[in-house]
Amino acid sequence: MDYIELTCTVKPVDPYAEIVIARLSELGYEMFEESETGVKAYITEQQFTDAYKDVMEDLDVNVQYEVKKIPHTNWNAVWESNFEPVVLASSVYIHAAFHEPQPQYPYSIVIHPKMAFGTGHHATTSQVMEEMLKMDWNGKVVMDMGCGTGILAILAHMLGARNITAVDNDIIAAENSDENCKANGAHEVVSLHGDASLIKPAYYDVIIANINRNIILNDITVYAAGLKQDGKLILSGFYTDDIPMIMNAALSNGLVKTNETERDRWCCLSLKKK
């Protein structure tokens, strides 16, 4: 599968690069690479449209863009060569197989990123993982929606969850999640290609959805219905300006906020089913 690389030169970069990322993620762009001049965003050639132009015009800021086709095999090589290890909360060491092990960290996760989102480098993934480290996962039933690399499902398994489903609507991501889960010994994680229709009613102790605002707003009723009483929903993948509309939808579905974090204008919300 080939991908489109959209290079956006933004002036001023701060804070508009983050806004560009947030808005493009709503259009289905899967990966982002920030630079001193702006953002490179990636989307499958099949999903690519001219809708990004409307996003740029709505920003009312100086944005120049360039579109280039990237063969999938070349992209994998470039992405893996640029993948640096990351440590979260002094506890989780996320790295590729070719990096040196660091046994001083309690949780060591090996990721083969390929085209799937989720390496711990982005503010959304890191905030979700830091929230997860605060929770009791022993024996929990978990659904990871928009699983990407499977990194959150893997951490849930390492923290003690034993019934974990990881779902992504991109078949490449679902396959990558399965590969990464097996590489980390998380053999009990079931990685599936699909969407929120796979959620079982009143079944999960925790649902994680690190996706984007539009999908969350569309599916939050299904998430709420899938939680057991007092179940927890962890949401990320959206901008801080999106919090009011997400909270309005959450309250309408019997979900109350238990925690909120923000980093680089990205947000993570933890909710509980009343």
Angle in degrees, 0-180, between the axes of helices 171-183 and 151-158, rounded to the nearest 10: 30
How far apart are alpha carbons 197 and 89 in whole angstroms? 34
Beta strand pairing call for 163-168 and 189-193: parallel
pLDDT digits (tens, 9 = 90+) for 5-38: 999 888 877 777 778 888 888 888 877 777 778 8
Beta strand pairing call for 204-210 and 227-239: parallel
pLDDT digits (tens, 9 = 90+) for 89-101: 899 999 988 888 8
Is 142 strand, coil or helix? Answer: strand
pLDDT digits (tens, 9 = 90+) for 52-77: 888 777 776 778 889 999 877 676 66
* Half-sphere exposure at residue 84, Cβ-oriented, CA atoms within 13 angstroms: 5
What is the pLDDT, as a whole number, of residue 129?
96
Enumerate domains of the chain plus CATH numbers. 3-75 (3.30.70.980), 120-273 (3.40.50.150)
Q: If you average pLDDT over residues 205-222, what whole number do you get?
A: 94
Residue 148: closest CA among 200, 185, 109: 109
pTM of the model: 0.79
